[in-house]
């Protein structure tokens, strides 16, 4: 969904939110990503600079300086990345309490999982594989404040079980031809049926 923003002349693109379901999907037509526990962020860079905007439209750029600096260092003048700002514990797991009360915001990194715009071109109708290739090319190289969210192909139930064993929040599954204007499926430990 597009809506005009108060944070510059660029449009605010509201991120698609996952829909919860009881079981991960089966079949080769799905990819699966780790679901991280943080703040959903739309990272925009354009002529007005870098902005890290929450899904509710709040500007968190100053709150997450490491992530903002990493976005500013990427080799393109104009883009919009969909991601999650997280802070990890000693085990490397995202913990929302570490980021929620502004205690560790300076340590937050952006987990990047989609590329919506590049050089003024709206990419949301392209298949997810194309957008992820473009994102990987844009974010390649050492940028300490941004990390690509890897995706996995395979049986959703197995990937979900591994994510839970590692202590992750869950997984998000998307069809291989997922367009960014459609919904995705969300599986977390609170809603997953293990019977």
**For residue 133, what are the contacts with CB-CB under 8 A and spacing of at least 6?**
none
Report the C-alpha gap between 58 and 114 in whole angstroms. 20
The residue from 35, 102, 132, 174 that is catalytic is 35
- The three-point CA angle 174-134-123 to 5° equals 70
102 part of the active site: no
Q: 187: helix, coil or strand?
A: strand
Report the C-alpha gap between 52 and 49 in whole angstroms. 10
What residues are annotated to the active site? 35
């Amino acid at each position: 969904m597009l809506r005009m923003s108060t944070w510059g002349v660029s449009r605010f693109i509201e991120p698609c939110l996952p829909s919860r379901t009881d079981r991960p999907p089966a079949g080769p037509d799905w990819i699966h990503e780790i679901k991280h526990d943080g703040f959903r962020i739309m990272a925009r860079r354009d002529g007005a600079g870098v902005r890290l905007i929450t899904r509710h439209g709040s500007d968190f750029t100053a709150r997450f300086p490491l992530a903002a600096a990493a976005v500013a260092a990427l080799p393109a003048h104009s883009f919009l990345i969909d991601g999650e700002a997280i802070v990890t514990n000693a085990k490397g797991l995202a913990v929302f309490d570490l980021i929620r009360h502004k205690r560790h915001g300076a340590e937050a990194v952006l987990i990047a999982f989609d590329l919506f715009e590049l050089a003024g071109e709206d990419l949301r109708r392209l298949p997810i594989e194309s957008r992820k290739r473009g994102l990987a090319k844009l974010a390649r190289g050492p940028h300490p404040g941004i990390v690509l969210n890897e995706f996995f192909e395979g049986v959703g139930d197995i990937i979900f079980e591994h994510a839970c064993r590692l202590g992750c929040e869950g997984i998000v599954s998307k069809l291989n031809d997922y367009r960014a204007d459609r919904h995705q499926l969300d599986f977390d430990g609170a809603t997953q049926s293990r019977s």
